[in-house]
Every structure is written in structure tokens, then in C-alpha cells.
Amino acid sequence: MPIRHEVRGPVLWIVVDGHYDDAELHASWQRAFADPSFRDGMPALVDSRKSLANPSRELLVERAEFLAGLRDRIGPRLAFVVGDALRFGLARMVAAFAEQSGLEIQVFEDPRHAEAWLGEAQ
């Protein structure tokens, strides 16, 4: 499974591994929301350090809109953790596209910094 979720303490992690499509992305979030450990408002972190995706600009816009639609479930902040410059740039583009929706996305290389940033909003 290229996308899985984990509830780690107060944070919902969406972990991406390899290639995936939007159907898998949407299903992973739905599985996470159905997990008894998940609570509405739980901050979320997308760990894409092992992602191999290279989506188009149009797909990035669609993903930003999808993530912005999750704001009621995950709160006003979403963290991305990346492992290379390409993923950093892609995540920053998603952040820019989602900004007008009121969802603040920040991109990190260190998951501890991502979790600390998410904790600041609590």
C-alpha cells in the first residue's frame, strides 16, 4: 500500500511510499478519519520522504483543493515532511495553492520540526 496512516500521539501521519494516484490518496484520508484513534481537529502531517510522485501543476492544484477541503477535520495547519529538493518544491506549490483556502501548509525536512510547528497551533 503506497499510502498509509498512523496516529502517533496527538498527530495524524499520512505516510506516502512510492507512486500513488488520487484515488489512493483520498481513500487513505478516509481510512484515517475512520480510525478510532483519530479525533476531529487532530493536526496532520504528510510524510512524503519516500514518495516517487512527480505530479503536474494541474494535479497539484487539485490536491491543494482536496487538502483544503479537509480543514474542518484536521484544523488550520498541515505539515509536509520531504526528503529531497523536488518534493520540497512540489509541496511548496501545494502550500501556495491552498493558502487562499485558509489552510496553512509548511514544508519541513525534519519530522520533529514539523510536529513542533503543528503543536504551536494547539
The full set of domains in the chain, from first to last, is 3-120 (3.30.750.24)
pLDDT at position 120 is 87
Residue with cell 504528510: 46
pLDDT at position 63 is 95
Which pLDDT band, with edges at 50, 70 and 90, does 105 fall under?
very high
pLDDT at position 39 is 96
Q: Is the pTM of this model over 0.75?
A: yes
Q: For residues 54 and 86, is the Cβ–Cβ distance under 8 A?
A: yes
pLDDT at position 122 is 61
* Length of the chain measured in residues: 122
Mean pLDDT score of the chain, rounded to an integer?
95
Instruction: Write the DSSP assignment of the chain as a string of letters.
Output: --EEEEEETTEEEEEEEE---HHHHHHHHHHHHHSTT--TT--EEEEEEEE-----HHHHHHHHHHHHTTHHHH-SEEEEE-SSHHHHHHHHHHHHHHGGGT-EEEEESSHHHHHHHHHHT-
Q: Determine the Cα–Cα distance for residues 19 and 7; give it in Å rounded to an integer.
A: 22
pLDDT at position 1 is 64
| 27-80: pLDDT as tens digits | 999 999 999 999 999 999 999 999 998 999 999 999 999 999 999 999 999 999
